[in-house]
Chains A and B, each alone.
Chain A
Amino acid sequence: MAENTEKTTGKRGVFTVISDHLPQIIPICTSAIAILWIVLGLKQYGFWDEFKGPKTGFFPTIIAIVMLAISIFALITSGKAKKPEFEKENWMAALGMLAMVLMSYVIGMELSILAFMILWLKVYEKCTWRTTIVATVIVMALVIGAFRFWLGINFPLGLFGLIFG
């Protein structure tokens, strides 16, 4: 935990710079996407066919041109936009999700969910054992009972799949 905090404080400066400029960064990104879509649409996919009318690139190109125009407008007027503020806490959920997904590749999705529930509730949120166990059991019953057995979803088994498959 200590190491984690240190790292984030170290990068804090960078993050603040990014979040302060989000009103500019977002329209720049959408403009870039729009330009990419227009270029590909016109060059690779084609716009209009003499006999058949619209080609593959017609619809996306028109929409992208509109988006480009509005993105530029948003960029010009971005000075007035409020700067978003992020708290470090909010990103914990994203980290938790990523950890759970990555662990699925190693120990399989079900075990990963089990480990995530217990670690999150007991270690991170410091809940009581009772809360932790009740919540975990309900989630596992849903995942295994409903999704795997009833609906027949084959969740990834991770390394175990390679060994026992």
Chain B
Amino acid sequence: MLIKIAKPGDLRESDVTPESVYLSRRRFMGGVIGVGAGLALAGRAQAAASDYQDVPAGNPPDWFGPKLENAEWDSVVPADPKLDKLTPFEDATHYNNFYEFGTGKSDPARNADSLETQPWSVVIDGEVNNGGRFALEDIVKPSRLQERIYRLRCVEAWSMVIPWLGIPLGDVIQRAEPTSKAKYVKFETLVAPQQMPGQNSSFALIDWPYTEGLRMDEAMHPLAILGLGMYGRELPNQNGAPFRLIVPWKYGFKSIKSIVRISLVEQQPVNSWQAIAPNEYGFYANVNPQVDHPRWSQATERRLPNSLFNPNIIDTRMFNGYADEVASLYQGMDLRKNF
């Protein structure tokens, strides 16, 4: 069996966060969090005004509230919160690559209202014993929501820091009971041209559905999560509502949005960007400052938001700074070849 379940101790970044920093993190608690959770988090509840108070309320499905009340906040946080400051909600939701809603960075925020996220179901199929079509709430039900504050490094050499809410991808895969033939996980985004104007463009080079894939051990890694929310609320449509992948050590395009299908497969899937430009985008797409994109350097990144006077250029780290956790997955591999 290829499945490797890492120990919780692997989440080293949160381990090295000093307790003072951890406790001083300003947290949103307002109304949403129930009494029980409130007591458990009293230390942080008493902290100053919340990070998320300015975040506009969404329109979550009924089942989302109870999941949020029981969420495990700050499950993984940056080792250096001063360097990796949270990107403002406004920027994280108005600067998106989501080509189903247009190729401009502000197109998704403008066009994604038309996406219908409730109800939402996901097909889990392929090399599994427990497959089928599942309502999203049933997929999420057995897992506790966790907050993961991750760096997000786009292949276009910009980056953000986003507080996601999600569940471990490994939990979902395990519950599907993969067979011994399951070597890869393939993901697909919704195809609905009436809701997704970008899918109507006859000039689009993407062959819908947008497709992504992970190797089984990557998918089972505890850092890989299926996201349902961000900034203490459910995902806004333009950020991949209601259900998306987040793989923080890979370039952003791997973290596929608005997932409707998860297939366990034997052969390595061809992801959408690899299909368009195999010389520019690979299957692995691990963040790697030593391997340039053919058209630009990946050695540095622009941490957003930036300004005209400060482009905020910082060094890109191997595996986006998650090398301690994930480097072992790629031991002995030529990362120049498997870019």
Partners in one complex: no
A: which residues have CB within 8 A of B? none
